[in-house]
Structure 1
Amino acid sequence: MKHILLLPHGTAGDVFPQIWVGRQMLRRGHKVTMIWTEAFRETALKAGLDFVALKDEGYEEMIRNPALWKPHESLKLTYSFAGRSIGPYVHAVMEAAGRHGMPDLMLAPIMAFAAPLLRAKLGVPLITTHIATLQLMSAHEVPLSVPAARLLRRLPLLLRKTFLKLVAPYDHLAFSQVRSGCRTHGIRPPRRLRDWWHSPDGGLALFPEWYAGPQPDWPAHTLQWDFPLEDVADEKPLGPELSAFLDAGEKPVVFTLGSFHLHSRRYFEVAARIAAELGCRAVFATREVSQAPAALTPSVFVTSYAPFSALLPRARAFVHHGGIGTTSQCFAAGLPQLITPLAYDQPDNAACVERLGAGLQLDIGQFTVKRALPLLRRCLTDGGIRQQAAACAARMRQRPDADKLAAWLEARCLNSSPSPA
């Protein structure tokens, strides 16, 4: 039995894929510990994982900041929080080691800056996890969340490579904490923060090739897999009231800006008017139901959480922010989707959906009844979009054997991997 450490960083869309990986390793008889903020303790424990809470460095304050969902400002907040989290991550890992012994493998995204430090300090192999193409930062297909990405895509490849190599506008927000952490633990700091982005032990891309194919400048030893499709449906099934609503009439249109978006009152006001114009039933999913309009007709149901794997097969279409977990659940349900991207990987996910013909996108600043209504109506009536959404669902049913992924991870555990660089 091996001890596997999961070190996620982000909101539910970032944490759930790690829980899915943890489940696969649990099935193989391994001990799995997740380290992240207290908000995810119950979810992790119900999934069968051990859990060590990261000392709060302002997580709740960060997710309540409206700038978290704005391009550029969001990355500033995220990098700053990641830097502050280095010390607490190290402390929590040592606590987990005290409980269950030294870990044999760690899995962490690039923003968990403590993970490479721990790899060097403890000699424990590290697999860098990627849930979206943004985290792999290819010059061959510059992510749309990168500043001036559309302009960069028009430049020769050499200039794109040079730009991405030299320009790092957010690194300074965390690099001083990285250097400080390295000094504290006797580790040589990286010359640049991005030198720590990709572990030499391997990388795991949790999205399929039909969605985004591998690029020549991806790190070596990267395994591309599939969407995890984790939404903790076994632990958090559809509530009885929502189930009764779905049983009581025609399939609804589902609207959300993500489980952790706490500034979406205007969005749901527009969504309510759109549903009224269409004469359709609707489900609004938002962590804080007070964000929905107070006076809604019985044709609109508001829920603080619903597992999309159970909800979306009973829906007509999905209007959402373009998070990778939400997008992949939409693919699995064969639903047409209208995406209103905000930040992070969401513009790239929206572009992929449009490229596949499975939906449309609209800038969140243009989310008005006048602009969104005709696009949603097209999603509901356009045979081509519905056909391509169904084709995506068919691809999603061709899933690889998760035991092969688990075996790949086992082969990279301690004593099966090269020594730390």
Structure 2
Amino acid sequence: MAAGRRIVLATTGSLGDLHPFLALALALESLGHAPVLATHEDHRAKVEAEGLAFAPLRPSTQQIQARLGLDIADVFDRMSRDPDFLLRDLQMPFLSETYEDVRAAALGADMVVAHNIVFGAPPAARALDLPLVRVALAPIFMQSASDPSETGPAPYVFTPRSAAAIGWNRLVRALVRGRIAASLKPVRDLGRKLGVAHADADAMFDCGHGDGAPVLGLYSPAFGPVQPDHPAGLTLVGFPSYDSEAGGQSALDPALAAFLDAGPAPIVFSLGSFAVHAPGDFYRASLEAARALGRRALLLAGANEAERLAGKGGGEVFVCSYAAHSLVFPRAAAIVHHGGIGTTAQALRSGRPQLVTPFLGDQHDNARRVGRLGVGRRLRPERFARGGAATALKTVLEDPAYAAAAQGLAPVFRGEDGAMAGALHLDELLRRG
């Protein structure tokens, strides 16, 4: 094992982007290393509550809102309607600040481990001549012609059974790569300015494939298997598990525990930590579906919606802003969620059937993979809100194949410790030098 090293972990985004890095940092710390978690100020309190070193990484949510003149709900809405918004408006305008912050955090470090959308991290690592490891949190970030991920309107053949179909997927991938590469021109310009230019890679959906950096896949090979055209440097270690609300040990609120104990397993409805800011009619439709099916319901609705929904539904409905998914999902009759990778991983561990209503980004591909595993179904949010929720849920609840598949696969996902496996892999990379 490598002697204790200072390792900078850089991530940005929602809790689904933070939690895997928190789990990885805690595992590295348990091995005697000194992790530093670089992320935006919104997450400082949670990182420091775990006793971990924190380094600020721009942009924060407040900085994004100030520069764009949008609140968080508007940002979500723009991201869901405009596939270029993430790179064009959220990432590239802050590239210099992100680079400066990663570089500052990495001074004196031994390694930089970065989420693939922290585009300032690779040039910072190279400018300091430090080893770089890219992190892919979901299969969508490791595209393959043999098993393509769903990326917006790109017309992939999702089950290619012939050389012609795989060839078609390669062509589509080349077109997508070209479009993303054009959006990432500021990254290449920064690299040239610093004298650390590297291969012209799609760091968004290829996780930097072609630049030689190892890639750590913090997701399950049962969810997105390694493919023949993935880079040799990819290592899949399984899903990490972390879902504390404020850092430290998680426990159920006594009132929620009493609700769960008081009757049949409820349907659990969750939109994670980002979509919950722009729920639209999701929770209204959720309540209507639960009533139509005669089922109890648990709504994890975020602070604003929880206050608005308080008291609705009577004793058969419990509403709260947050509860650890690891504690409530196993007690669900079914789980309805948005398809974020962190929520999806917890749902897969729970062994309960799922209904996924994806809004944006990797959620569509995660929903497709849930369906492919046979553990749930996908329903578009507009259909969910317009009366389709009850019908889809009835199928998921009453067709025993969904529960059987979910229960059959759950031990696979529960048996993974992606955080420790990832930490051991990073330790080995450091040991090799």
TM-score (norm 2): 0.86
Larger mean Cα displacement after TM superposition, 160-169 or 131-140: 160-169
Distance 2:418 2:356 in 1: 30
Distance 1:129 1:326 in 2: 18
Percent of aligned pairs with the same residue? 29
The verdict on how the C-alpha distance between 1:328 and 1:175 changes in structure 2, with shifts beyond 3 A counting, is: same
The verdict on how the C-alpha distance between 1:387 and 1:193 changes in structure 2, with shifts beyond 3 A counting, is: closer
Indicate conservation of the 8 Å contact 2:156/2:172, yes or no: no
1:26 deviates by 0.6
* Residue segments in structure 1 that go unaligned for 5+ positions in a row: none
Of 203, 208, 211 in structure 2, the residue corresponding to residue 197 of structure 1 is: 208
1:166 deviates by 3.8
For 2:259, the equivalent position in structure 1 comes to 245
Alignment map for 1:36-185 (pairs within 5 Å): 36-56=39-59, 58-60=63-65, 61=70, 63-64=72-73, 65-70=75-80, 73-97=82-106, 102-150=108-156, 156-167=165-176, 168-176=178-186, 178-185=187-194
The verdict on how the C-alpha distance between 1:244 and 1:78 changes in structure 2, with shifts beyond 3 A counting, is: farther
Q: Equivalent residue of 2:327, what SS?
A: helix
**Aligned residue pairs, count:** 411
The verdict on how the C-alpha distance between 1:207 and 1:290 changes in structure 2, with shifts beyond 3 A counting, is: closer
Runs (4+) of structure 1 exceeding 6 A deviation are none
For 2:11, the equivalent position in structure 1 comes to 8
1:193 deviates by 5.0
The CA deviation string for residues 376-405 of structure 1, in whole angstroms up to 9 with x for no partner, is: 112222221111110121222333686554
1:129 deviates by 0.9
Distance 1:81 1:251 in 2: 40
1:16 deviates by 0.8
1:135 deviates by 0.3
Of 366, 372, 376 in structure 1, the residue corresponding to residue 383 of structure 2 is: 366
The CA deviation string for residues 101-157 of structure 1, in whole angstroms up to 9 with x for no partner, is: 511111112211112101210111111111111101112222112423346867632
Larger mean Cα displacement after TM superposition, 145-154 or 228-237: 145-154
Q: Equivalent residue of 1:140, what SS?
A: coil
User: Do residues 30 (structure 1) and 33 (structure 2) align?
Assistant: yes
2:269 maps to amino acid:
F
For 2:301, the equivalent position in structure 1 comes to 286
1:34 deviates by 1.0
Alignment map for 1:192-271 (pairs within 5 Å): 193-194=202-203, 197-198=208-209, 200-232=212-244, 234-261=248-275, 262-271=277-286
The CA deviation string for residues 61-81 of structure 1, in whole angstroms up to 9 with x for no partner, is: 47432434526x144224532
Distance 1:122 1:287 in 2: 41
Indicate conservation of the 8 Å contact 2:223/2:369, yes or no: yes
1:120 maps to amino acid:
R
TM-score (norm 1): 0.89
The verdict on how the C-alpha distance between 1:232 and 1:313 changes in structure 2, with shifts beyond 3 A counting, is: same
Q: CA RMSD in A?
A: 2.6
1:281 maps to amino acid:
R
Distance 2:56 2:89 in 1: 19
User: Do residues 335 (structure 1) and 332 (structure 2) align?
Assistant: no
Of 400, 404, 407 in structure 2, the residue corresponding to residue 383 of structure 1 is: 400
2:117 maps to amino acid:
M
Indicate conservation of the 8 Å contact 2:240/2:418, yes or no: no
1:387 maps to amino acid:
A
The verdict on how the C-alpha distance between 1:293 and 1:402 changes in structure 2, with shifts beyond 3 A counting, is: closer
Of 302, 305, 324 in structure 1, the residue corresponding to residue 322 of structure 2 is: 305
2:48 maps to amino acid:
L
Distance 2:230 2:405 in 1: 28
Distance 1:367 1:402 in 2: 34
1:362 maps to amino acid:
L
The verdict on how the C-alpha distance between 1:179 and 1:212 changes in structure 2, with shifts beyond 3 A counting, is: closer
Distance 2:355 2:153 in 1: 24
The CA deviation string for residues 216-235 of structure 1, in whole angstroms up to 9 with x for no partner, is: 11111111111112212644
Indicate conservation of the 8 Å contact 2:180/2:202, yes or no: no
* Residue segments in structure 2 that go unaligned for 5+ positions in a row: none
Larger mean Cα displacement after TM superposition, 363-372 or 311-320: 363-372
Alignment map for 1:338-417 (pairs within 5 Å): 338-368=355-385, 370-399=387-416, 403-413=420-430, 416-417=432-433
The verdict on how the C-alpha distance between 1:77 and 1:27 changes in structure 2, with shifts beyond 3 A counting, is: same
Indicate conservation of the 8 Å contact 1:259/1:286, yes or no: no
